[in-house]
Amino acid sequence: MKLGKIFIASSLLFSSLFASEFISYDDLSKKLKEEAKQSGMMATTQEVKDALNAKDWAVVDVRTMEEWAGASIKGSFRVGREAPEKALENIVLDDDEKFVKDKLVVVCNTASRAAIETQAFKQMGFKTVKIYEINKWIDECNPVVTKYTAGEHKEGTKTKFGNYYAEHCKK
């Protein structure tokens, strides 16, 4: 009985030591975004446009399928957060598994998820990884595409409308 109490007490003490080191999602993403700003790894809109046309860059989106379907940057690729390394293989590697695109711009709504996913992408061997928020793209009156009306979605009207712009951009 005494041994059980000692075990429980030591387990609680040990687990509380780890709990004190826990960093919340918000704190971690704020910290990583601030580091990206200071180190120049927060992409500008012009850098995203340039990356979309560059051979050695890929613009990847780590948002959910629903967010991606609602609005995405034309020419970007959705890799999601579930298994981004598998999706990236088809985008950045050639048949010999050599990088053809060794630089990434990682997109999400506010750059929080992008900042966190960037850590994994750097460990995967990408030379340069920048983060970008699609909200900035939209706010600066750049077009987005949507999947909600495309023919491959059964719920859609099967009508394609082209690019969409934020309301404040319409003149």
CA 136 from centre of chain: 14
**From CA 117, how far away is CA 139, in angstroms rounded?**
23
Cα dihedral sign for 55, 57, 63, 67?
Answer: negative
**From CA 171, how far away is CA 160, in angstroms rounded?**
22
Any idea where the domains of the chain sit in the sequence?
Answer: 23-147
Residue 142, CA distances (Å) to 111, 125, 126, 128 in order:
17, 31, 27, 24
Strand ranges across the sheet with 57-61 = 77-78, 57-61, 103-108, 128-133
* Tokens linked to 65: 């399928």
Query: Is residue 16 pLDDT above 90, yes or no?
Result: no
**DSSP 8-class letter at 129:** E
Report the percent of the chain where pLDDT is more than 90.
39
Fold category of 23-147 in CATH: Oxidized Rhodanese; domain 1 (3.40.250)
Q: Which segment of 50-54, 86-90, 92-96, 106-110 scores lowest on mean pLDDT? A: 86-90
**From CA 71, how far away is CA 133, in angstroms rounded?**
12
Cα dihedral sign for 80, 82, 85, 90?
Answer: negative
The answer to whether the CB of 128 falls within 8 A of the CB of 40 is no
Query: Is residue 152 pLDDT above 80, yes or no?
Result: no
What angle do the packed helices 84-92 and 112-123 form, to 10 degrees? 70
pTM of the model: 0.78
Q: Which segment of 72-81, 88-97, 103-112, 142-151 scores lowest on mean pLDDT? A: 142-151
**From CA 88, how far away is CA 52, in angstroms rounded?**
15
**From CA 148, how far away is CA 154, in angstroms rounded?**
9
